[in-house]
Amino acid sequence: MSDKTILIVGTFDTKDEELTYMADVIRAQGGGAVTMDVSVLGDPTNPCDYSKHQVAEAGGSSIQAAIDGGDENLAMQIMADGASALALRLYREGAFDGVITLGGTMGTDLALDVCQALPVGVPKYVVSTVSFSPLLPPERLAADIQMILWAGGLYGLNAICKASLSQAAGAVLGAARAVEKPDLKRPLIGMTSFGKTVLRYMVDLKPALAVRGYDLAVFHATGMGGRAFESLASEGVFRAVMDFATQEVSNHTMGSTISAGADRMTGAGRRAVPQLLAPGCYDLVDYVGWQDPPQKLCGQESHAHNRLLSSVMLTPDQRREVARAMCDKMTQATGPTVFLLPLHGGNEWDRLGGPLCDPEGLAAYIDEMRTQCPAQVELRELDCHINDPSFTQAALQVFDDWIAKDLLG
């Protein structure tokens, strides 16, 4: 009897050989494999455990509807809806322990939906010809998705693509055996930050929250970290959030490709999760260090953090634009929301006398926040810097008030 079972998803009419190869690798390693066909026009060589008809019906449609639509994009969305719904149902029934999908752009489009449908802690592997590509928008990526490039695998098996397929098959089986799924019996707080040289509040807040009986998960707000944070916040994984590094809003507003998506800073609010917000690094826009800065920021002062990441310093008017974007996002908040506004700066470099100190820019941001902050948001101005102990104390004061009012569930 196999110890763990992997769900294998793909178009078995065109990728039968490759998908079957992965199933054979998994079984050879002592795992179990069940197959799901998401084809539309053709049929697999051998029947799959879950047919294309079952997939389409799980999404409230049919294969005939997919064919009659006469549009391959529409057809694949029908199959994506069905595959996502069926995979989630099967997982809840205990039918599998991890999932692996395979495809080009069509199969990857479907795979992203399937992975997003499954909870955090379920191993999710995507073997794709477009892995790590800019074709993949951050908001489509599950918080714990794994990818491998399907090198040399556009058509048929060969020595090159077998290396990718066998690694992926072994990886998802190993992950299913090794994964420690989240145990949320102890309530979890979600936080965004950068490294301790830039933002320091997490150092004091982590032990303080632990004393109060809460675990803390800190997300690196460099695009993908914020995407994972936003995804989990929208699912209600967190009892509350301390979203203090909101720079990804600045990035997206100014056209940087280092984005967590257009819905950044909205997931917790839409879910009515209590949220504490702050403007960590609001004054900077990160961009890919080996590319040119966003067009609207060309010519402005920049700093190379490393070979991967550079930052542009925003002008006062651009900081006002960022403030308006943040306030617009906060209008969607339906739960307790407090914005902590440190009047002496939002990152270690912008302190008085620091290399990025800009009193005019800071004043512009503060003024815009004062005038544009939504009515349902409590704006608390703090006579401190974001890295001062006073900021941490103010955050804990709000948090303790929420505990006293039984707002954290």
Task: Catalogue all structural domains in the chain, each as residue range(s) with its CATH number.
Answer: 5-178 (3.40.50.12020), 188-404 (3.40.50.12030)
pLDDT digits (tens, 9 = 90+) for 225-278: 999 999 999 999 999 999 999 999 999 999 999 999 999 999 999 999 999 999
Which pLDDT value is given to residue 81?
A: 97
- Crossing angle, helix 105-117 and helix 72-92, to 10 degrees? 30
Name the β-bridge partners of 7: 34, 99
Token pair, residue 301, equals: 């002062």
Which pLDDT does position 152 carry in this prediction? 86
Residue 137: predicted pLDDT: 86
Q: Which residues of the chain have pLDDT under 50?
A: 1
Contact 141, 227 (CB under 8 A): yes
Cβ atoms of residues 327 and 371 within 8 Å: no
pLDDT at 156 (0 to 100): 85
pLDDT value of position 303: 84
Residue-level pLDDT at 305 = 86
User: Can you give the pLDDT at residue 153?
Assistant: 81
For residue 139, the surrounding DSSP H or E stretch is none
Give exposure, 314-339, as e/b (b: 16+ Cβ within 10 Å): bbbebbbbbbebbbebbebbebbbbb
Radius of gyration of the chain (CA): 24
Say what the pTM is: 0.86
Strands (E), 245-336: 275-277, 284-288, 302-304, 309-313
d(CA 200, CA 158): 50
